Amino acid sequence: MNKKLLAAAVASALAVPVTASAQVAISGIFKVGITSISAGGTKTPGRANDSQIRVDDNSSRILFNVTEDLGGGLAAVGQLDLRFAPDQAGAAPANNPIGSGNTYVGLRSNSWGMISLGRWDLHYGNQPDDLASKAGALMGAAVSLMDYQLNGTGAGQTIAVANATRTANVIKWDSPNWGGFALTAAYSTSPLAASSEGDMSVTTAGTKADGGDGMNLKATFTGANWQIGGSMWDAKAEAGTAATANWEQSSQAFWGYIRFGGFKVGAAANTADLTNSAGVVVSDRMNITIPVSYTTGPHNFYAHYTMAGEDDAAQFAGLDTKATMIALAYVYDMSKRTSVGITYAQIDNGAAANYNFFTGASLGSPDAAPGRGEDLSLIQFTLRHAF
């Protein structure tokens, strides 16, 4: 065959369109630590031991990401975020043990961004604290104080801001990156419930209950070595716990950081208030944090100082509701995917405060939860492997 004709035939064959197929990517993290935790200050009555050694999961996960190119800059996307605890069973929510992480399906466009439906981390954790990255202990993160507040309905109770985990039943829009500026708008039909509840619910007495819903607006502006951002959260629980049913929670967070050389320095403030079904403000506080980090070669150093401010709600008048937290971590990168680290963290609670380490109540040991005025400290050796 003539070489020119053969070349033309091959070119024509390659030009024939093929049916688009979805691309699936699998990745994840194994992250587990050996923790020594101890209590001090005003001891909880009846506490049998002041310390314990345990094995703690640090939010291990497997991610399944699906993408299908639909043409014209449009793609169908989905993610299954499977959270699991290598040290124990049953850590994931009983109602959704497989997709308990950021799990969603949506459409993504190069021009207008992404619309998704599912479960998402909203509002909480916006402080520029990198201590829990790589092999730093998740329990030592500034979230421990920044995204919690006292609810005052009983001794030893706190409530998480924006769940301090994924929010369910979310409709979410993420903008494209407009020259460093990005915007997120999210709405939840029932932010604190496991199911898609709404205004049709009735109480056992036969009277109509208020519908629960939530919203989050977040904006960031990111430069080559810096970022500033803000986030607003407002949610009403239709079916939370007995202590928070039909309560409304509002919060605003502002943060920023700058990098120079191997250093990163940041700051963040978080205000939050909680209003009960009678319209009474039962918690109103502002927390701040200052995180710093330094990286040189395989060596990573992290620290933060975090303070929970006085709660200004009337029920806490004259009570010491402040708390402070310090945390230090050193992480050594054994490779691009594997690191080991050691973390020290301490929370000092005021006489009427009982802040706990992040995930301490949910993934940790219930008997290590602090009472009012009780302090906690921990040392954790952590091993992390990403794939």
pLDDT digits (tens, 9 = 90+) for 156-189: 578 899 989 999 999 999 999 999 999 999 999 9
Residues of the chain with pLDDT under 50: 1-19, 91-95, 155, 194-196, 202, 204-208, 240
The secondary structure of the chain, three-state, reads CCHHHHHHHHHHHHHCCCCCCCEEEEEEEEEEEEEEEEEEECCCCCCCCCEEEEEEECCCEEEEEEEEEEECCEEEEEEEEEECCCCCCCCCCCCCCCCCCCCEEEEEECCCEEEEEEEEECCCCCCCCCCCCCCCCHHHCCHHHHCEEECCCCCCCEEEHHHHCEEEEEEEEECCCECCEEEEEEEECCCCCCCCCCCCCECCCCCECCCCEEEEEEEEEECCCEEEEEEEEEEECCCCCCCCCCCEEEEEEEEEEEEECCEEEEEEEEEEEEECCCCCEEEEEEEEEEEEEEEECCEEEEEEEEEECCCCCHHHCCCCCCEEEEEEEEEEECCCCEEEEEEEEEEEECCCCCCCCCCCCCCCCHHHCCCCCEEEEEEEEEEEEEC
Q: For residue 86, what pLDDT is reported?
A: 83
pLDDT tens digit string along 242-262?
555 568 899 999 999 999 999
**Hey, which CATH number is domain 22-196+210-386, 3.90.79.10, 2.120.10.70, 2.40.160.10, 1.10.10.10?**
2.40.160.10
pLDDT of residue 199: 54
* Residue 46 pLDDT: 66
